[in-house]
Amino acid sequence: MRKEKRKLVREIISIDGDTCTSENVVVSLSACERTREQEAEDLRRSFALTRTLSPIPRGQRSKRRANLKNAISKQKKIDSGAFGCHFENLWGSFSEDKRTSFTYLDCLWFNLYRGQPHKAKVLTWIKKKHIFSKKYVLVPIICWGHWSLLIFCHFGESLQSKTRTPCMLLLDSLEMGNPRRVEPDIRKFVLDIYEAEGRPEDKDLIYRIPLLVPKVPQQTNDEECGRFVLYFSKLFVEGAPEDFRIEDYPYFMNENWFNPNGLESFCEKLGIGKLRFC
């Protein structure tokens, strides 16, 4: 009798408020594929939180997918699997012009990079994104159980350019959590990206690329950070200037950037659960 194949399903990091531990791991069906097939296979092999599950009977698969979709839409706290699905839906809503001048990194890559065994793989995946040919690169990051949005601006330009200034933006909806505490990891990440690409820029100049932390709207509880990052992504892609210059910073990014009603409407359109505001 032929052995029945077992289906490999990637596990997802569950974000419980602003904490993230090994106990907060839940299994998700691959309702949304966020990497190419080869990248997904590489991720499966290198990510320690992957395990083999018994195959799902054919008649139950559609029901399980429907249940998963409903569960994602009702979540108050967005785990990495749900975030990836919502981000892909958002990305697909942008115009072709926007998707040509922008790109993004998978929401797990920065977290994986910070773990020593995965650095080389992550840098290999990033090379396939051709970020130095893009004006802007969105990097959703999850660190210490909290979502924030890192944006690379004009990395393909000269580090001494005056008109298209290479810089980084860190948009964080929890300023009281000290966003700059992740700066050392970000700077090492960027330096390794440049080196992996074989870029000719001087290391000292790379390390001094400005990291700007604008004052942006703040979350009112510990459940909203993922939603804020998704909305930051939408608003930045739609409003980013053709040439980002530090002299004109912060452009449209300020404390009045959006209002709770706009955020709630955005979340409803993406199918994210209802928000609770204090």
In the prediction, which pLDDT does 15 show?
Answer: 42
**Can you give 64-87 as a three-state secondary structure string?**
HHHHHHHHHHHCCCCCHHHHHHHH
Sheet hosting strand 211-212, strand order edge to edge: 102-104, 136-143, 146-153, 167-171, 211-212
Give the distance between the most distant pair of CA atoms in the chain: 71
Q: Residues 125, 193: contact at Cβ < 8 Å?
A: no
Nearest to 163, CA basis, from 244, 233, 228? 244
Q: What is the pTM of this model?
A: 0.74
In 3-state terms, what secondary structure has residue 144?
Answer: coil
In the prediction, which pLDDT does 76 show?
Answer: 58
In the prediction, which pLDDT does 203 show?
Answer: 95
Nearest to 109, CA basis, from 79, 155, 142, 152? 142
| pLDDT tens readout for residues 53-64 | 333 444 544 554
In the prediction, which pLDDT does 77 show?
Answer: 67
Reported residue count of the chain is 278
| pLDDT tens readout for residues 147-195 | 999 999 999 999 988 888 899 999 999 998 899 999 999 999 999 999 9
In the prediction, which pLDDT does 36 show?
Answer: 40
The H or E element that residue 41 is part of is helix 37-46
Per-block mean pLDDT, blocks of 10 residues, the chain (278 long): 43 40 32 43 43 40 45 59 93 95 97 92 97 97 94 94 90 93 97 96 95 93 91 95 88 84 90 51
- State both tokens at 89: 């839906």
Could you give phi then psi for residue 259, rounded to 5 degrees? -120, 165
Q: Which amino acid belongs to residue 201?
A: E
